Structure 1
Amino acid sequence: MISPLSLMVAPNGARKSPADHPNLPVTIDAIATTAGACRDAGAQALHLHVRDDAGRHTLDAARYLAATAAVRRAAGEELVVQITTEAVGIFKPHEQMAAVRAVVPEAVSIAPKELIPDAGAEAEAAAFYGWAHRQGIAVQHIVYAPAEFDWLLDLIGRGIVPGARHSVIFPLGRYAADQESDPAELAPFVARLREQGGVERFDWWVCAFGRAETASLIAAAALGGHCRVGFENSFFNADGSRAGSNAERVANVQAAASGLRRPPATRAATLRLLGRPE
């Protein structure tokens, strides 16, 4: 059986601005409009960053709630909304966890290395992960390197991260020269997944920086992974042209993946793929 494919759009990120691309959405209204267009282009989920009045990255719960409501109005109930806890060198673990507790989102992405900077932070993180699990929140773990995947396995093994099945996302090109990804970066991640039970224990996603975004995502999809695409990571289409919108990037990746013949994932399946407890 060919497994369904889920596409998530990351339309803005924490660092880019309209100076980088005129159609990068930073206001709540612009994010909502983008969400609707990306849903129509084939996205099943939205990776949500919000900005303050000055356009700076924030984890403000009220803005997350307002943005989520606006996305629902523009894109309907089918699009999964995943908020981020990205620190960007600004927010501390207690602030990241407080934001999630205040919003109680349906899905959230968390980098364990940010939430647990040292062994002394494990107990508080365990309480938070346990709370999220009981709330039924889909928690996706951001894993930047194979060694971090091994550490996540240790956290799972010691019960700090609960559950029998987990969602991970591998950002490619994050630490490469000029943040240009290469599909070959997938190899060590896929090898570790296969060693640790593969799809029996993990649902995995990829996002990729730079001009090789589409090639990297299609390589992941061909191997059974899922794709996060959008202006947070790249402005470039598969042919090297500069995309005019996030919806264009979603459509470009969907077209490139059409030959894989993986049907689109449902909302329920996408939530499970993003880590919703079973």
Structure 2
Amino acid sequence: MSKAIITCALTGVLTDPREHPVPVTPEELAASAHEAWDAGAACMHVHFRQQGAGRGHLPSWDPALAVEIAEAIRGACPGVILNFTTGTVGRDQSGPIACIRAGRPEIAACNAGSLNYLKTRSGGGWAWPPMLFDNPVEKVAEIVAAMNEVGTRPEFECFDTGIVRSVGMFAEVGMVSRPQVNLVMGVASGMPADVALLDVLVRYLPAGATWQATLIGRTEIWPVHARVAELGGHLRTGVEDTFYMPDGARAPGNGALVGALARIAHEAGRGVASADEARAIWGLA
């Protein structure tokens, strides 16, 4: 098996920085990325948040901010691969497209299908109003075309089994070649973070696809990370996905989470890929 590429999901969206250790400013993102880089992450998945007191839990699609953050991270981690978020609810993707064109990341997330985005509270009732995370084919095609304009590779985010299979269809009709797939497991209304399900999912990956898994949760995610490494997949962690170390302790930040994932890769008999090695594996070089 090839070396494992580790992606660090630096911050995510909506998590309140007053309650959790999520970086928000360009300086904070660069410092956190540097810790993750030193621990073994070759790629940084980046969300952009509004700047200023009391606004850091809200997303921003300001292309100038995207460029400022990208330059700060590249300066802190020379040679790093950047992966921009693009997810929006609704048909308007002008913000993500502007950020891709301005920041020119090597990779960008591409949500590959729609999902009822739901969560319940333990006492009954919804944690938030039920919503549709809508990603019809024409929306996917539009963002992929924008990525192609600047040489950005789409990473297809798959929240359910049918979405995994849809990526294969995107390849069949010529929307993409040699797709890069991210199995997103642990969203309450999507695929659970389950080793048994992972063993099934890999059978349905498009031919020739490279893949990784995003695992959202607490201590239950770490055995699934280990199985991803054993199966030859690539790895992702960060405070977007979890705040908990394998022993259940609260993670102090992204560097510690990446370090734990690097140990899992080595335990599976795989080295950890440098950024240049990651580019070769992903076909970016």
TM-score, normalised with respect to structure 2 = 0.83
Structure 2 residue 159 is matched with structure 1 residue 139: no
**Aligned with 2:30: secondary structure?**
helix
The whole-number CA distance in structure 2 between the counterparts of 1:270 and 1:110 is 19
Structure 2 residue 176 is matched with structure 1 residue 162: yes
**Aligned with 1:58: secondary structure?**
coil
Cα displacement (A) at 1:103 = 2.6
1:185 corresponds in structure 2 to: 197
1:9 corresponds in structure 2 to: 8
How many residues are paired up?
262
CA contact (8 A) 2:81 2:105 kept: no
Taking only aligned residues, the RMSD between alpha carbons, in angstroms, comes to 2.5
1:263 corresponds in structure 2 to: 271
Give aligned-pair identity as a percent. 24
The whole-number CA distance in structure 1 between the counterparts of 2:171 and 2:92 is 22
Q: 1:90 to 1:242 in 2, by over 3 A?
A: farther
Structure 2 residue 83 is matched with structure 1 residue 82: yes
CA contact (8 A) 2:245 2:257 kept: yes
The whole-number CA distance in structure 1 between the counterparts of 2:148 and 2:42 is 22
Q: List per-residue Cα deviations over 1:218-256 (Å, max 9, x = no partner).
A: 111110001110110101111111111111111111123
**Aligned with 2:113: secondary structure?**
helix
1:67 corresponds in structure 2 to: 69
1:38 corresponds in structure 2 to: 36
Letter aligned with residue 205 of structure 1: Q
Letter aligned with residue 92 of structure 2: K
Cα displacement (A) at 1:261 = 2.1
1:49 corresponds in structure 2 to: 47
The whole-number CA distance in structure 2 between the counterparts of 1:186 and 1:13 is 23
Structure 2: any 5+ residue segments left out of the alignment? 115-132
More helix, by proportion: 1
Q: List per-residue Cα deviations over 1:132-186 (Å, max 9, x = no partner).
A: 3363322211011110122222222112x232x1111011111259x97333331
